[in-house]
Structure 1
């Protein structure tokens, strides 16, 4: 069976299942690989227009994949400014898909590097590495090599010597052809407006109501946390969203979004991405206007951490706190965006 016939069969199957955005992305990928830019852009834009206004995770993921296709097309056509804008936009749709989110950051870093924006390239590539670490050794090795290359370029540029560099192609996003049926509602969980230090998570004063979730999420989620503020908007988490949380019963994995209490910074939980470094904890907001947060144990020098992160994230603000009063209340497993009106 020819590749074109296989693609056609997949598209027909997806369309029959109602996965129209996914089917359009399959067509976009097919035409992009054939070099048919106009057709590829048309299908990707149709997928984006269809899916970006939806509120379920599958549609949001399809919108992100469409953005990646568009970014790859503009990248190939040499419009780097538009490519980086589209790649960056795709990041927001992959809040709960670490691999695709990592690939999106990788693509951002590659284009930033081609633009000569060494600091921004390094930051994006470091984010890609953090997300892909533990998921895909081969991709991590490629991203690490790119990080080292950008550091060399940055050092060369600072001395007036800027070597030429061939871009490393980013891996295109993949799509899923899962035929699973939608799960059925099965469990009611509390909606928590806040998690206060020193109080049980499900204290009556914290609960604003209840929601019913499907049987798949019911095995994972213990409560829903109402989002306050915009520190995670680049992860697709907006003020007013409900983040389904699992109470902590084991250490979180790197890259997971957690609800953390950091005293004396705050006395209520804040949503951040968690990373356990060799001698400290890093909490990353998904909004550049907020500082990244470092939790250091006794014996770890604050000055050495500041120096390390000034080199790793030269454009980011950093706040450092001791480990006293630091706790993780749970981690995110899914997102619900309630429709208004």
Structure 2
């Protein structure tokens, strides 16, 4: 009797998006996102009433206006349609031996729906790829926890492996370099910024291996002691990108954006992108090319925050040209890089 053909399931996961840019849907999304204990690491008795009762009701209408700027009239949320495009392209690249599913950590399509799709396809094992290049407990860690929470109730649990980070993966680096060089060919720039999503400093320190991470020069090298330090991974990615782009150390700066809370009360990773770029024009830096290497798909944090808000701030301070390098989305070379990562796992 012939052995049944084996199939591998691939679960691609991104952060999440509201169902629409309406305030009610944005509120629902923020409630799920900001009450995740890995995102806001407060006791539940404090976290839920604070965010559901105060922070989210105040934030949702403002965020809804921003999502309305981002929303595509025909396709909806960029994070969603780019994710679905990537799923289809990776499926084609991997072929029939694989079944590719796509889910969001928050809202729809859910991780549970995607895992059910793979279970119904009778895959022999599952590879989970959170689409966050640099590991953080608030992103990749949250996805891993959610996956395991779901499959614990399955009667039969197949082998499951996680690609926990790809901050220094050659295909990922080469894909961003290709994007960057395409923009660099269009004009000259005085400086280059690699802007990453920020996290509270305490998140780095909580995950520090035997106290190795100290938010300083410890991130100048990437080694077994800081392999899962978010800050160290951001600097490692930046060094590799600079090398691929042919940049000297003094030609680029690593910064952090999207902090949620007051830096005086709860410091986040520094330097802060908005503060750094505001000082550039006075230093003679008038043309800047900005990268968002923490994101592989266009979203609110790239298109709006870096592409629009930072551009406006830079120009207000006397800057002449601020250009965002587009995310990888479903570019063919990124699709092949994802396929290669999966094959290697």
Give the TM-score, by structure 1 length.
Answer: 0.23
Higher helix proportion, which one?
2
Identify the structure with bigger relative contact order (alpha carbons < 8 Å, sequence gap 6+). 2
* Larger-gyration structure (1/2): 1
